[in-house]
Amino acid sequence: MVNSKTSYNDRIHLILESIELRPFFNIQTWKGIFSVIQEWVLILIAAFLCETYYHWSIYIITVVFIGARYLALGLLMHESVHGLISKNKKVNDIVGEVFCAWPVIVSMKSYKVKHLKHHQCLNTDEDPDYTAKTDKNWQFPMPISRFLKIVVKQLSGFGVFETFRVMSGKSVASRKPKSSRRYKIARVSFYIIVLGGFIYFDHEMLLLKYWLVPFISWTQLINRWRRIAEHSGIEHQPLEMQTRTTKHNFISRLLLSPKNISYHCEHHMFPSIP
């Protein structure tokens, strides 16, 4: 059993020496951009079909489906943080910010600082993800009554505030860089243009039904489950056992754990593989 960071890294180097992994590190811009376009096309198709054949049961299914697509966009932003959407840094950052992060109310620029610190200091007091999840609602095992309360809170939309708190990573270990004035103007302009466009064309209800509702309900619930599956309840294990890989069938990959994010142990071992 490996029980130190040094020996764990030594083990990884041995793996790299014994297995030819270079092809897996290849970054192809067209694949990264296609993945982003794919999610947006699926969102538009789902919204169109729901509006065309509207029924409350169809709408619930649509909320679940689209909510999972917003999580997928957040995960593609995560890929951009690691520079895996495109070898071209400008393309990588623009795609990650504008088409993945901003639609889910996240600044990739700020998230990058927090997330890279998470990789460097996994499950320690220097890990902003770890320090943001120290209250009883993140401790396992937990009473079923508390778990059900959390599920209801997430689905009702009120859980979004806790998500923003966790995502912000407010700790000394993750001091955020100051955003440039140009960046701030671009981001605010993005929201003004999108919101203004929907209002101008009298489609604000579409924004409410197919962005806000899925995002503050299903997206938040499955994002929480994802975080629990990745690191919760194993903080005191040896380093190589402080993250999990979980395997899913097609439906759960589509609606709960998109973009192969469930291979999380492998991601921490090889964060430069797309």
Helix boundaries (H) for the chain: 5-18, 29-52, 56-81, 89-94, 108-120, 128-131, 144-156, 160-168, 181-200, 204-207, 213-214, 220-231, 250-255, 264-269
**Residue 82 confidence (pLDDT) above 60:** yes
- 245: which strand partners? 263
**Residue 255 confidence (pLDDT) above 90:** yes
**Residue 262 confidence (pLDDT) above 60:** yes
Find the angle CA(168)-CA(169)-CA(174) to the nearest 5 degrees.
120
Mean pLDDT of 160-177: 64
Of 83-92, 235-244, 250-259, give the lowest mean pLDDT range: 235-244
Q: Which residue has the higher pLDDT, 109 or 123?
A: 109
Indicate the SS3 state at residue 263: strand
Mean pLDDT of 47-69: 98
Give this prediction's pTM: 0.89
Nearest CA among 272, 271, 273, 268 for reference residue 234? 268
Mean pLDDT of 185-203: 97
Which positions ≥6 away from 102 have C-beta within 8 Å? 187, 190, 191
